[in-house]
Structure 1
Amino acid sequence: MPPYADAIASFWKGRLASGPRAAERPSLQHLLGNASVPFDLMRTRTQISALTGAIRGDGRHILLIPGLMASEQRMEPLRAVLNAAGYSAHGWGMGRNFGPKPDSLAQIDRRVDQIQRETGSKLILVGWSLGGLFAREYAKFATHKVSGVVTMGTPFSGDPRANHAWRLYQLVSGFPVDRPPFACDREQKPPVPTVALWSRRDGVILPECARGRAGERDRAIEVDCTHMGFAASPEGILAVGKALEAMRV
């Protein structure tokens, strides 16, 4: 071996060690656990009376924002329970969520204005996954129209690639996951009350990215559900009710 071989190996070892590392992601076991969503929906349908009785609505108006590639219908189990419990939950009116566009916040603003013309009330934004990022950024964009934000399995903290969804996000939206088409500081807390729902069993989003750190949200609540279960399972829906109650003034 040439006398300089050790020096060359040491040089490249140092360069490689200091380079960017692949982001940590949830386990495959937890990812596969998301296949249970049909059973979550079935459990919610059979427990709807109990869920409605366990959530104490107070008439506040709520805007529900779906996750990446999810339609408004995907939020219907949650919306039905919240409305039956005494809240006034609204769809976001933009159909399926195909990722951020340059005018996404402006479109949400038009929907919020429409609801406020009818109700005269500020809205609480409840966003699932990517929908939670939209909710957080809109609350910074139009703070005077928002009274709070609840995120469900939303990756607002840490590495934006610490999940199993970022490649799909880039494919669908056409934008890099770390450079959305509008001003965005994921980790900056909106200037309204914020509650982050997160799960160790999420499977799609790394739990600590959805839980956030102190200063990035006001409160974090652990939920025993999968990522797909946040808006479909009894546990996810009850957690939203708990988050809304925590924002009650």
Structure 2
Amino acid sequence: MLVAAAVCPCPPLLVPEVAAGAAPELDAARAACTDALGVLAAARPHRLTVVGPVDAPEPETYPEGTRGSFKGFGVDLDVRLGRAAEGDGGAGAERRLPYALAVAAWLLERTGWSDAPVDGLGVGERLAPGHCARIGRDLATRAERVALLVMGDASACRTLKAPGYLDERAAPFDAEVGRALGAADLAALMALDAGLAHELKVSGRAPWQVLAGAAEGAGLGGSLLFEDAPYGVGYAVTTWS
């Protein structure tokens, strides 16, 4: 059963070494993410699953110990999802973490996560809402006490200099996302339009709908810790407990 969840943005710029001179601009977001992971730890889960966007048609799983790197962003920094696998090889060495889950691994290492085993799940942006919800329901049954760390950004079209340029639909979309996440409104999250989310370059839609499926019947309440759009991209940090 799902006992807690944290929703965090996933830009590599969240990692100070990647952001370099611009690192202070996301200090508030980093602090909120730290607080959100504290809520997960306080829930004493038996298992933590990190859910984030991946560029793949089907869901991809990442066992504990899977490694990731920020070398693609010009930084010689490696991370690992949870504890090292036995012998520091095997299943976890077969594939690398996608960038969103690498950011999650960095957050977990930064906060010293050791409260429960960790694994990862990547979901593609084209995954239908119903499929996302079914995945979430399955995740919630994997242990008596399950927690989710859900990674994803809102629109990338909030300003003229945003990655997706300015789209007037972006701000209302992000406002509804922030409201729904902060209120743990499952119906509203499931109602997010996948087509519009794709047009607005929203990476979090599928992960949020996985969360909505996992939270069915759990009776969790939400709290919005941070919401902003630096660089024209919508970021939100929320906790459900």
Shared fold, TM over 0.5: no
Structure 1 or 2, whichever has the larger Rg, is 1
State the TM-score bracket (shorter-chain normalisation).
0.3 to 0.5
* Higher strand proportion (structure 1 or 2): 2
Q: Which has the higher contact order (CA 8 A, sep 6+)?
A: 2
Given the two structures, how large is their TM-score scaled by the length of structure 1?
0.34
